[in-house]
Amino acid sequence: MKSKIEQGNRSGLLVVAGILIGAGLLGGFIDGILLHEILQWHHMITTVRPATNLPDFEANTLGDGLFELGSWIITVIGIALLWRAGERSDVPWSPKIFGGSLLLGAGLFDVIEGLIDHQILGIHHVKSGPNQLAWDIGFLAVGAVLALIGWVVLRDGQKESSDNQ
C-alpha cells in the first residue's frame, strides 16, 4: 500500500496538468474572451490607458492579445503534461483528481490575476464604474470558491485513489 506522500507524488503530474489547463482555459480564456471581448467590460490596461482613441484602443488590444497568448501558452503546457501523464502507468487516472485540479487552477488564476491586476497594479477592474470594488471583490470571491471546491474534490479523488491501491 502506498503512503499518502507516494500517492500525491504519483498523481502530481496529473494535478499540475489540470491546474495549468484550468488556469489557462477556464481562467484565462473565459476572462479574456467573455469579459474583454464579448461583454467588453474592460481590456488589459483600461485604467492606465482608457480606450478613448485609436492609439489607446490599439494598446489595449495588444494587451488583450498578450494576455490571451499567455493563457494559450499555459494551456498548451498543461496539455503537454497531461499527454505525458497519459503515457505513464503509475499515474492514477481519476476524474475527481483531474476535475478538482481544473477548478483549482481556474480559481487560483482568478484570485492571482484579480489581486495583481485589479488591486495591486490597478491596470483594470472587472467592471469600472461606481461599483467597481464590488465587482472586483466578487471576482476574487468566485475565484476563491472555485479554488476551494477544486481543492476538496482533488483531495477526495486522491484519497479514493489511494484507497483503491
Residue with cell 497594479: 121
Contact criterion met (CB below 8 Å) for 95 and 14 = no
CA 36/CA 41 separation, integer angstroms: 6
In the chain the beta strands, taken as DSSP E runs, fall at: none
List pLDDT tens digits, range 41-96: 988 999 999 989 999 999 999 999 999 999 999 999 999 999 999 999 999 889 99
Q: For residues 97 and 11, is the Cβ–Cβ distance under 8 A?
A: yes
pTM higher than 0.85: yes
Predicted local confidence at residue 25, as pLDDT: 94
- Print burial letters for 102-139: b (CB count within 10 Å at least 16), e (below 16): bbbbbbbbbbebbeebbeeeebbbbbeeeebeebbeeb
